[in-house]
Amino acid sequence: MKRFALVIALLSISFAYCQKPCDFSTNVKDSLGTYKSTREYAFYEKVFGATSSRIFFSLVKTDDLPALNVTFIYKSNDFIKANCFDSNSRMYLQLANGKVVTLVYAGNDNCGTMVRDQAGINNRIQTGVFLFMKDSYEELKKSPVNLMRIRYGTETLDYIVKSELISEADGLTYHPETYFVDALHCIMN
């Protein structure tokens, strides 16, 4: 029994030291409160011909409120349809352990901004802040994400989450499946 307790203690210590280091873009504490934000992380990327869609995540903590910032960037030679967030918008994350975690959209109605660049390519940029439901982040710390479903104002879209993503935009390798397992500790302290 003592050996079992010792093994558990050693495993707990090794897991604590195996966490990936936090990379903050902002970490401010002043008289108004605290604000932490991790750097943007490529969570999803789909490129087909001249059309691309990318989703970036960053975890934020404002005072004691953890949230997920999501940035969508769409590029195409053709018109880009708007998927709008409203008060009923949700993000559902299906985990490898079979559980589903729900995040609630926390902003005003938002359809993003359409910009035409100098090369004549249409770009739609949209950001949203999603709040974690009470204690839902505990499940995200334990299990990888397999599927992301986003309920917009008028439709629902599914995004398959890859275990490894080599971004065509920057050539870097990302691990979206374990993003929350690796990064949630950065805003929970």
- Condensed to tens digits (0 to 9), the pLDDT of residues 45-59 reads 999 988 999 999 999
Helix (H, G, I), strand (E, B) or coil at 9: helix
Tens digits of residue pLDDT in 72-125 = 999 999 989 999 999 999 999 999 999 999 999 999 999 999 999 998 899 999
Confidence of residue 189 (pLDDT cuts 50, 70, 90): low
pLDDT higher than threshold 60 for residue 9: no
- pLDDT value of position 27: 74
Helix (H, G, I), strand (E, B) or coil at 13: helix
Rounded to an integer, what distance in angstroms lies between the CA atom of residue 92 and that of residue 100?
Answer: 6
Q: Are 39 and 57 within 8 A, CB to CB?
A: no
Percent residues over pLDDT 90 in the chain: 69
The domain total for the chain is: 1
Rounded to an integer, what distance in angstroms lies between the CA atom of residue 172 and that of residue 19?
Answer: 20
Radius of gyration of the chain, Cα coordinates, nearest whole angstrom: 18
Bridge partners (DSSP) of residue 40 are: none
Q: Are 145 and 182 within 8 A, CB to CB?
A: no
| Alpha-carbon torsion angle 179, 189, 131, 28, nearest 10 | -100
Where in the sequence is the domain holding 46, given as residue range(s)? 2-188
- Residue 35's Cβ-count burial label (10 Å; 0-12, 13-18, 19+) is middle
Is the dihedral angle over the CA atoms 59, 146, 139, 179 positive or is it negative? negative
Helix (H, G, I), strand (E, B) or coil at 67: strand
Q: Which residue has the tokens 């390519």?
A: 121
Helix (H), strand (E) counts: the chain: 4, 13
- pLDDT value of position 131: 95
